[in-house]
Structure 1
Amino acid sequence: MWVRNRCVTCMIPVVSRSAPPVRDRARHLGDFTLTPRVLVTIAWALPIGALGAVAAWALLRLIGLITNLVFYGRVDTALVAPGAAPHPAWLVLLAPVAGGLVIGLMARFGSEKIRGHGMPEAIEAILLRRSTVEPRVAVLKPVSAAVSIGSGGPFGAEGPIIMTSGAVGSILAQHLHLSADERKALMVSGAAAGMAATFNAPFASVLLAVELLLFEWRPRSFLPVVAAVSVATVVRAPLLGSAPIFPVDLGTFTPSAPVDALCVAAGIVGGLLAVAVTALVYLSEDTFARLPLHWMWWPAIGGLIIGIGGLIEPRALGVGYDVIDELLTGRATMSLIIGILVVKSLIWGLSLGSGTSGGVLAPVFMIGAALGALEGLVFPQTAPGFWAIVGLAAVVGGVMRSPITGVVFTLELTHAWSALFPLMIAAAAAYGTSALVLRRSVLTEKIARRGYHLTREYEVDPLEVLMVDEVMHADPATLRTTDPLPVPTTTLTAGVPRRGRPCDDPPRQRLFPVVDDDGALTGVVPHRALTDPPASARTVADLLVDDPLVVRADDTLRAVASRFAEAAVGAAPVVDRDDATRLAGIVTVEQLLDGRLRDLAEEHHRERPMRLLGRRATMPS
Structure 2
Amino acid sequence: MSVNTLLARFLVWRIRHINNKNFVLLLSGLIGMLSGLAAVTLKSAVHFIQQQLTGFFHFGFPNLLYITYPLIGILLTVLLARYVLKEKLGHGVTDILYTISKKSSLIRRTKMYSRMFTSALTVGFGGSVGLEGPIVVTGSAIGSNVGQLMHLNYKKRTSLIGCGAAGAIAAIFNSPIAGVIFAVEVILSDVTIASFIPLLIASVSGQLVALVLLGEEVLFSFRLEDPFQAADTPYFLLLGAVCGLAAFYFNRIMWAVEGWVGRIQEALPRALMGGIGLGLIIFIFPPIYGEGYDSIIAMLSGQDEVLLSRSFFFGELDSVYVVLLFMLGVLLIKPVASALTIGAGGSGGVFAPSLFMGAVTGFVFARFINFVQVAGQVSVANFALVGMCGLMSGILHAPLTAIFLIAEITGGYTLFVPLMLVSAISYSVSSYFQRYSFYTKNLVERGDFIPYDKDKQVLRLISLEKIVETDFLEISPRASVQDLVGLVQLSKRNLFPVVDEKGVLKGIITLDDIREIMFDSDKRQTVIIETIMRQPPAYVQLDDEMESVMNKFEKTGAWNLPVLYGGRYAGFVSKSRIFNAYRTRLIRQQRE
State the TM-score, normalizing by the size of structure 1: 0.64
- Is 1:452 matched with 2:473? no
| Higher share in helix | 2
Summarize the alignment of residues 405-416 of structure 1 with structure 2, pairs less than 5 Å apart: 405-416=401-412
| Offset of residue 116 of structure 1 | 1.9
- Report the counterpart of residue 316 of structure 1 in structure 2: 288
**Is the CA contact 1:96–1:306 (under 8 Å) kept in the aligned structure 2?**
yes
| Offset of residue 356 of structure 1 | 1.9
- Report the counterpart of residue 267 of structure 1 in structure 2: 240
Summarize the alignment of residues 580-591 of structure 1 with structure 2, pairs less than 5 Å apart: none
Q: How far apart are the structure 1 equivalents of 2:223 and 2:429? A: 27
Selected match of 2:166 from 192, 203, 224: 192
- Is 1:118 matched with 2:92? yes
- Report the counterpart of residue 299 of structure 1 in structure 2: 271
**Is the CA contact 1:84–1:315 (under 8 Å) kept in the aligned structure 2?**
no
Which secondary structure state, in structure 1, belongs to the residue aligned with residue 414 of structure 2?
helix
- Report the counterpart of residue 54 of structure 1 in structure 2: 37
Q: How far apart are the structure 1 equivalents of 2:300 and 2:449? A: 34
Q: How far apart are the structure 1 equivalents of 2:22 and 2:272? A: 47
- Report the counterpart of residue 483 of structure 1 in structure 2: none
Q: How far apart are the structure 2 equivalents of 1:48 and 1:402? A: 23
Q: Classify 1:458/1:240 alpha carbon distance in 2 versus 1 (closer, same or farther; 3 Å).
A: farther
Selected match of 2:221 from 219, 222, 246: 246
Q: Classify 1:222/1:458 alpha carbon distance in 2 versus 1 (closer, same or farther; 3 Å).
A: farther
- Report the counterpart of residue 472 of structure 1 in structure 2: none
**Is the CA contact 1:316–1:339 (under 8 Å) kept in the aligned structure 2?**
no
- Is 1:378 matched with 2:368? yes
Number of residue pairs matched by the alignment: 428
Which secondary structure state, in structure 1, belongs to the residue aligned with residue 177 of structure 2?
helix
- Report the counterpart of residue 583 of structure 1 in structure 2: none
| Offset of residue 420 of structure 1 | 0.5
| Offset of residue 345 of structure 1 | 3.3
How big is each residue's C-alpha offset from its partner over 1:352-389, in whole Å with a ceiling of 9 and x where there is no partner? 33342112111211111111011102335233411111
Summarize the alignment of residues 153-552 of structure 1 with structure 2, pairs less than 5 Å apart: 153-241=127-215, 245-251=220-226, 253-256=227-230, 258-291=231-264, 293-332=265-304, 334=323, 337-379=327-369, 380-448=376-444, 451-457=446-452
* Higher alpha-carbon deviation: 347-356 or 143-152: 347-356
State the TM-score, normalizing by the size of structure 2: 0.67
Letter in 2 for 1:128: K
**Is the CA contact 1:282–1:353 (under 8 Å) kept in the aligned structure 2?**
no
How big is each residue's C-alpha offset from its partner over 1:135-188, in whole Å with a ceiling of 9 and x where there is no partner? 222222111000000111111110010011211222222111200111111122
| Offset of residue 87 of structure 1 | 6.3
| Offset of residue 455 of structure 1 | 4.0
Q: Classify 1:339/1:248 alpha carbon distance in 2 versus 1 (closer, same or farther; 3 Å).
A: farther
How big is each residue's C-alpha offset from its partner over 1:113-132, in whole Å with a ceiling of 9 and x where there is no partner? 55123211121222222222
Q: Classify 1:566/1:363 alpha carbon distance in 2 versus 1 (closer, same or farther; 3 Å).
A: same
| Offset of residue 223 of structure 1 | 1.4
| Offset of residue 569 of structure 1 | 7.8
Q: Classify 1:220/1:447 alpha carbon distance in 2 versus 1 (closer, same or farther; 3 Å).
A: same
* Higher alpha-carbon deviation: 208-217 or 163-172: 163-172
**Is the CA contact 2:112–2:142 (under 8 Å) kept in the aligned structure 1?**
yes
| Offset of residue 72 of structure 1 | 4.6
Letter in 2 for 1:361: F
Q: Classify 1:361/1:135 alpha carbon distance in 2 versus 1 (closer, same or farther; 3 Å).
A: same
Q: How far apart are the structure 2 equivalents of 1:458 and 1:403? A: 20
* Higher alpha-carbon deviation: 348-357 or 408-417: 348-357
Q: Classify 1:97/1:280 alpha carbon distance in 2 versus 1 (closer, same or farther; 3 Å).
A: same
How big is each residue's C-alpha offset from its partner over 1:496-542, in whole Å with a ceiling of 9 and x where there is no partner? xxxxxxxxxxxxxxxxxxxxxxxxxxxxxxxx9xxx9xxxxxxxxxx
* Higher alpha-carbon deviation: 49-58 or 259-268: 259-268
* Higher alpha-carbon deviation: 298-307 or 198-207: 298-307
- Is 1:136 matched with 2:131? no
Q: How far apart are the structure 1 equivalents of 2:407 and 2:352? A: 15
Letter in 2 for 1:298: R
- Report the counterpart of residue 25 of structure 2 in structure 1: 42
Q: Classify 1:153/1:365 alpha carbon distance in 2 versus 1 (closer, same or farther; 3 Å).
A: same
Letter in 2 for 1:62: A
**Is the CA contact 1:106–1:140 (under 8 Å) kept in the aligned structure 2?**
no
Letter in 1 for 2:233: D
Q: Classify 1:410/1:63 alpha carbon distance in 2 versus 1 (closer, same or farther; 3 Å).
A: same
Query: Root-mean-square deviation (CA), in Å?
Result: 3.1
Q: How far apart are the structure 1 equivalents of 2:338 and 2:385? A: 21
**Is the CA contact 1:196–1:202 (under 8 Å) kept in the aligned structure 2?**
yes
**Is the CA contact 1:96–1:300 (under 8 Å) kept in the aligned structure 2?**
no
Letter in 2 for 1:283: A
Q: Classify 1:455/1:273 alpha carbon distance in 2 versus 1 (closer, same or farther; 3 Å).
A: farther
Structure 2's unaligned 5+ residue stretches are 1-17, 308-322, 370-375, 459-510, 516-573, 587-592
| Offset of residue 268 of structure 1 | 1.0
Letter in 2 for 1:418: T
Q: How far apart are the structure 1 equivalents of 2:454 and 2:255? A: 29
Which secondary structure state, in structure 2, belongs to the residue aligned with residue 417 of structure 1?
coil
| Offset of residue 443 of structure 1 | 0.7
Structure 1's unaligned 5+ residue stretches are 1-34, 74-81, 464-527, 533-564, 572-587, 593-621
